[in-house]
Amino acid sequence: MKLGGSLTFAVPQLNDWFESQFAQLDVAPPDGSRFLNRYSGAFMRNGLKVCRMDTRTPEQRRKIMQSVKSKDTGPEMLVRRILHRLGYRFRLHRKDLPGRPDIVLPRHRKVILVHGCFWHAHGCAKGRPPKSRKDYWLPKLQENVRRDRTKLEHLEALGWQVMVVWQCETKDVEVLAARLKDFVRKV
């Protein structure tokens, strides 16, 4: 079975699966070529995979990027709620500490940094750099990681104990609550 021109799969089940995916499409790709799947902008033209760079208009992309916050993010708010529920009181974004840490427990000399996986280049699925504009994104993300490391070292040199909570770790609230409790109680 041939798909999108000269593309043929050796395994018949793959051919059938791709044909069933094509059959579900409502919109035909340009020039009579075939979509690879209905979710991505990729399609087959003359047997070659063609990918679109961005599915958003520049205005939509600008609004999305403007909505990214540095304070009061979802993961940070979750960590704050858990700490408060556990009975701990804290300060937010203290300007007198290096890097203005997200959560400071001055009584315990502890600092909690809540990092977004993408912006701080975590190794999880959300932390992967974009495939497009690598010349822009890779230096930016590397600089974020370098800055995180230096701020963490400065905090530790000042006698603060530091815990980093990653965005992907906030999915399991019970495990996160136990980690936070252990960190704050640890001497």
pLDDT at position 7: 46
pLDDT at 92 over 60: yes
Query: pLDDT class for 25, splitting at 50, 70, 90?
Result: very low
pLDDT at 81 over 60: yes
Closest CA to 83 of 46, 108, 116: 108
Q: How many CB atoms lie within 10 A of CB 162?
A: 17
Strand partners, 110: 105, 161
pLDDT in tens, 127-180: 888 888 888 889 999 999 999 999 999 999 999 999 999 999 999 999 999 999
Strand partners, 111: 104, 162
Distance (Å, whole) CA 83 – CA 112? 11
pLDDT at 6 over 60: no
- Calculate the alpha carbon distances from 32 to 43, 98, 123, 168, 187 in Å: 10, 57, 40, 41, 67
Query: pLDDT class for 83, splitting at 50, 70, 90?
Result: very high
Query: pLDDT class for 48, splitting at 50, 70, 90?
Result: low
Q: Say if strands 161-166 and 110-115 run parallel, antiparallel, or are unpaired.
A: parallel
CATH numbers and ranges of domains, the chain: 2-50 (no CATH), 66-185 (3.40.960.10)
Query: pLDDT class for 44, splitting at 50, 70, 90?
Result: low
Secondary structure, 3-state, the chain: CEECCCEECCCHHHHHHHHHHHHCCCCCCHHHCEECCCCCCCEEECCEEECCCCCCCHHHHHHHHHCCCCCCCHHHHHHHHHHHHCCCCCEECCCCCCCCCCEEEHHHCEEEEEECCCCCCCCCHHHCCCCCCHHHHHHHHHHHHHHHHHHHHHHHHCCCEEEEEEHHHHCCHHHHHHHHHHHHHCC
pLDDT at 27 over 70: no
User: What percent of the chain is modeled with pLDDT above 90?
Assistant: 48
Query: pLDDT class for 9, splitting at 50, 70, 90?
Result: very low
- Residue, of 55 and 112, whose pLDDT is higher: 112
Q: Are 111 and 162 in contact (CB under 8 A)?
A: yes
Taking residues 91-99, report their average pLDDT. Answer: 93
Q: How many CB atoms lie within 10 A of CB 114?
A: 23
Query: pLDDT class for 2, splitting at 50, 70, 90?
Result: very low
Closest CA to 174 of 110, 102, 82, 89: 82
